[in-house]
Copies of this chain bind each other. A is one copy, B any other.
Amino acid sequence: MTKQNIMLTPGPTPLPPEVLEALSRPIIHHRTEEFGQVFVDVEEGLKRIFRTKSPVYMMASSGTGAMEAAAVNLLSPSDKVIVLSTGVFGDRFAAILKAYGVSPIVVQEEWGNAANPETLKKALLDNPGVKAVFFQHTDTSTGIVNDIKALSEVVHKNSQALVVVDSVSGLAAEPLEMDAWGLDVVASASQKGLMNAPGLSFAAVNDRAWTAVEAAKLPRFYFDWRTMKKFLPTRQTPYTPSINLIVAQLEAIKLIEKEGLENVWKNTDELAAYTRKRVQEIGLTLFAKDPANILTAALVPETVDSKKLVAQILRETGISIAGGQGKLEGRLIRIAHMGYITRHDVDEGFKALEKYLPRKEKV
């Protein structure tokens, strides 16, 4: 097995050559017509990918920054908020809210399960006056995908609450229809389905959410969407943007649109089905009961420490597979199959797993 540079990790995902080339172009200044055009082209492209007519704000930050931006721009300290937690990233929403003095009602799902619309309905009826419901599109820590269309419907039928979706890992990989499904805010980031380097985050915000933004009392400056909105007509961001990443994002958007967003969803779905079949063929146990298309989480045998396993595979083969996060550290392997990850990459990952898993565990 020759050493390769194959990434099967759920963010960052590998970068297409067109994106790498764009990253290395001589930098242009951001207060210029040339950059303004790139800025507009990226924003328009993102609107098509978010499936929305609402503006998409671009921030220089990790995805966690966009999650925080959603919290601080929509809420006041006394607001009642529900967080549907399906893993590490739902817990992160709760931690962000708590850091800002908001006490969320956390509806905790068993790890590996998607959020249950019936449980959400009960939580909404038990807690009248909820201002917003926060949940993940996909949670990479457990490999689940939420039925965000159904969850959004339950929110709108049973409350006036805003629907806030973290699609950092789901966007441009799993189907998402912001406007048609009534999602009020969708947060995302550059380094997963959007096939760009990490460091750029996004938030699409509809008019309904904007009313909340104007009333929100939580403190914010760097992540303040009101300032970003003021700058939008000038085709600029308030502060120096991640110029190279935005230039590269345009190339990645072009690649997605050349393939066609729905084909991207379909191909991701097929590669996911293939990966789940292969996981079972090598004798591992699928973890998620509601598995996402972006990545597959599998339990390793009790005798194996997955953290050591993936470290050994990386060291000896150059192939990056993710281990478990949070309370699943050491127990899970996670194989991503979104963005620029190909079937060949996945096959190489399985070759490595077959080689490095203890022999007795193999079929």
| Interfacial residues, chain A to chain B (CB-CB below 8 A) | 5, 7, 9, 11-12, 14-15, 20-21, 23-33, 60-65, 68, 95-96, 99-101, 189, 191, 197-200, 218-224, 238-245, 311, 314-315, 320, 322
* Alpha-carbon gap, A23 to B219, bound state (A): 34
- Which residue of chain B has its CB nearest to the CB of A19? B24
- Which residue of chain B has its CB nearest to the CB of A198? B240
Q: Are A221 and B68 in contact (CB under 8 A)?
A: yes
Q: Are A15 and B32 in contact (CB under 8 A)?
A: no
* Alpha-carbon gap, A136 to B149, bound state (A): 49
Q: Are B60 and A243 in contact (CB under 8 A)?
A: no
Given contacts A27-B197, A197-B27, contact A62 B240 (CB under 8 A): yes
* Alpha-carbon gap, A68 to B224, bound state (A): 12
**What 8 new A-B contacts, CB under 8 Å, besides A65-B222, A100-B221, A222-B223?**
A5-B26, A29-B314, A61-B61, A62-B239, A99-B219, A101-B219, A197-B245, A199-B199
A112 CB to nearest chain B CB (Å): 22
List residues of chain B with CB within 8 A of the CB of A31: 9, 322
* Alpha-carbon gap, A46 to B332, bound state (A): 36
Q: Are A243 and B197 in contact (CB under 8 A)?
A: yes
List residues of chain B with CB within 8 A of the CB of A9: 29, 31
A23: contacting residue among B23, B60, B200, CB under 8 A: B23
A76 CB to nearest chain B CB (Å): 13
A243: contacting residue among B12, B200, B241, CB under 8 A: B12
CB-defined A-B contacts under 8 Å, sample of 7 = A7-B27, A9-B29, A28-B320, A31-B322, A61-B61, A101-B219, A199-B242
List residues of chain B with CB within 8 A of the CB of A243: 12, 197-199
Interface SS, A side: loop
Given contacts A61-B60, A68-B221, A314-B32, contact A26 B14 (CB under 8 A): yes
List residues of chain B with CB within 8 A of the CB of A68: 221-222
List residues of chain B with CB within 8 A of the CB of A60: 60-62, 65, 198-199
List residues of chain B with CB within 8 A of the CB of A23: 23-24, 244
- Of all A-B residue pairs in the complex, the 7 with the closest CB atoms, nearest first, are A199-B242, A24-B24, A62-B239, A99-B221, A64-B239, A197-B244, A20-B24
A103 CB to nearest chain B CB (Å): 13
* Alpha-carbon gap, A322 to B20, bound state (A): 29
List residues of chain B with CB within 8 A of the CB of A219: 99-101, 218-219
List residues of chain B with CB within 8 A of the CB of A11: 240
Q: Are B241 and A62 in contact (CB under 8 A)?
A: yes
A58 CB to nearest chain B CB (Å): 11
A28 CB to nearest chain B CB (Å): 8
Q: Are B320 and A221 in contact (CB under 8 A)?
A: no
Q: Are B63 and A239 in contact (CB under 8 A)?
A: yes
A342 CB to nearest chain B CB (Å): 14
* Alpha-carbon gap, A26 to B17, bound state (A): 9
List residues of chain B with CB within 8 A of the CB of A63: 239-240
